Structures are given as C-alpha cells and as structure tokens.
C-alpha cells in the first residue's frame, strides 16, 4: 500500500490516528539512532532513510541506497532494515535478540511486520539502525554487488 504523500508530515497526517501514533513512535526511535549522513525522505511510497547521491551515487537502480524504511501497510505496519538484510551476522544477532524479548516476531528477510507497537522491541530496532555507519553500509552493499556480478 504505497502512499502518494510528498512529505513525511503529509504521510503521517494521512494515517488513521492509532497508526499515526505507532508509526511516529517507531520513527522517533529511528531518528534517534540514525547514522550521520542518512537522510529521511519520502520514497517508494513510504518513509525512507537513504544514503544521498552526494555520498553514494553508484546504485544498481539509479535510486538512492535505502538504509531503512517505515510504512503503514493495509494489514500491518513494517520497519525495513537493509542492514540486517545485507549482513548475515547482523540478521542472526537481530533474530536471536528479538526472540529473547519474548515478543511475537513476524519477519521477512529485511522487514519486521507488526500490528501493534507492543509487539515491536523498540530498543532492538534502535540498535539495528545504529549497527552500521554509512561507510560500513556502503562497503557491505559494494561487496554484495561484487559477489552478484561474479556469478
């Protein structure tokens, strides 16, 4: 469910009040832990946190490199964590720590879905956001591209 909102404020204002409150809480955690250089924008129909072209212009799809994202979908809300998608070690640590919180985990490869914020370990989300600097994220991205092109 992509939004046509042009700004984060417009996106939040378009949400039902209960979703707006929950998305805003997760957004606050992301913003508090966001590595220097990552910018918050609207892209892909959701709130995106991306590496600007001024830092890294060489992406496979000619779009800024997405570091994370936050969205309200039809049946759930989701946090997209590219760092845990790109790093097997970070993903394994994240899953282990998530399960040890006792909260119900509903996760794809990089997205963590939740229906209520009570199901989301906010401290762990903040930790996942802060786990990589921009330079580390770009290095992991570039290493992944090299492996893909070598196949």
Tens of pLDDT, residue by residue over 70-118, are 999 999 999 999 988 888 899 999 999 999 999 999 998 889 999 999 9
For 6-23, what is the mean pLDDT? 95
Local confidence band at 151 (pLDDT 50, 70, 90 cut-offs): low
Q: Where are the domains of the chain?
A: 8-132
Residue 113, classified by CB atoms within 10 Å of its CB into exposed (0-12), middle (13-18) or buried (19+), is middle
* Structural contact between residues 129 and 34, judged by C-beta atoms closer than 8 angstroms: yes
Q: Is pLDDT above 80 for 148?
A: no
CATH code for 8-132? 3.90.1150.200
* 33, two tokens: 């832990």
Local confidence band at 124 (pLDDT 50, 70, 90 cut-offs): very high
Contacts of 133 (CB under 8 A, 6+ apart): 35, 36
Q: Which residues are bridge partners to 42 per DSSP?
A: 47
Q: Is 5 left (phi over 0), alpha (psi -120 to 50) or beta?
A: beta
pLDDT in tens, 26-55: 999 999 999 999 999 999 899 999 999 999
Looking at residue 2, what is its pLDDT?
A: 73
pTM: 0.91
Local confidence band at 150 (pLDDT 50, 70, 90 cut-offs): low
Give Cα separations from 78 to 36, 57, 103 (angstroms). Answer: 23, 27, 15
**Buried-exposed string 124-133: b where 16+ CB fall within 10 A, e elsewhere:** bbbbbbebbe
């Amino acid at each position: 469910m992509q939004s046509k909102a042009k700004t984060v404020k417009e996106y939040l204002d378009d949400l039902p009040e209960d979703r707006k409150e929950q998305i805003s809480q997760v957004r606050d955690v992301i913003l508090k832990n966001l590595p220097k250089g990552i910018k918050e924008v609207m892209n892909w129909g959701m709130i995106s946190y991306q590496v600007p072209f001024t830092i890294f212009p060489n992406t496979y799809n000619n779009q800024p490199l997405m570091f994370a994202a936050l969205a309200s979908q039809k049946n759930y809300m989701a946090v997209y964590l590219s760092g845990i998608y790109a790093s097997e070690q970070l993903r394994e640590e994240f899953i282990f720590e998530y399960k040890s919180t006792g909260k119900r985990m509903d996760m794809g490869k990089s997205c963590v879905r939740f229906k209520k914020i009570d199901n989301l370990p906010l401290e762990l989300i903040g930790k996942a956001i802060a786990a990589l600097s921009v330079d580390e994220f770009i290095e992991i991205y570039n290493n992944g591209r090299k492996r893909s092109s070598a196949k």
